[in-house]
Amino acid sequence: MKKLTILLAIFISSFTLNAQNQDAYINAMVKGLQSMGAERNLENLQSAAGQFERIAANVNGQWHPHYYAALNYINASFLTEGVKAKDQLLDKAKPFVEKAMELAPNNSEVVALDGFYLMAQLAADPNSRGQSLSGLASQTFGHAMQLDAKNPRAMALMAQMQYGTAQFFGSSTAGACGLAEKSIPLFNAEEKGKSFEPTWGIEVAEQLMAGCGK
């Protein structure tokens, strides 16, 4: 009886600890996501990335903190001047992209993030990286769309790649514009703040559509 009581006490304490850890994880993620809503500048993006980096270091088996750490470093690279500075931020993003891919290899959102990382590398130095990375980035976005045909982030990012490629070669941007337009109602249909699932990206499609209207 004494042994049973001890085992029961251990089980209850373990359950309580797990619940506390889960609550701490949820609270940390909520704060991290809220910080992403701050003014979009280099300092805030790096601060948000650091928050998710710390969460990722203290929780196992969750891809979301790795995803958002990478996303903020990638976005920060677009606000930084110079190839070296951009690459330094992308080097910080890389292990988080890889870990998210390891934890959720067939997740359309994670695959689209991998494509976004490749796109950011290309954007850092398009003259020397365009030939090697443009096809790979498009292929990655295509894979994300195969995994989930209604993933608006994969659509919008693919549209951005197609638009840039069409402009470079002086060809029609109609396909890219059509894909961007198709993504917008899917963005609008997403429930914001209901989970840790990504909901960002409508601004990518809207900016592209603004260019399409010219």
Beta-sheet strands, E only, within the chain: none
Please state which of the ranges 13-17, 59-63, 118-122 shows the lowest mean pLDDT. Answer: 13-17
The residue extents of the domains of the chain are 1-104, 106-214
Residue 124 in this model has a pLDDT that exceeds 70: yes
pTM: 0.89
Q: How far is CA 106 from CA 6, 35, 101, 180, 207, in A?
A: 42, 28, 8, 23, 29
1-104: which CATH number, 2.60.120, 1.10.3470, 1.10.287, 1.20.58?
Answer: 1.20.58
Residue 7 in this model has a pLDDT that exceeds 90: no
Higher pLDDT, 22 or 116: 116
Please state which of the ranges 3-7, 25-29, 120-124, 140-144 shows the lowest mean pLDDT. Answer: 3-7
Structure tokens at 157: 């990012």
Q: How far apart are CA 88 and CA 66, in angstroms?
A: 17
106-214: which CATH number, 2.30.30, 1.10.260, 1.25.40, 1.10.8?
Answer: 1.25.40
Q: How far apart are CA 203 and CA 153, in angstroms?
A: 10
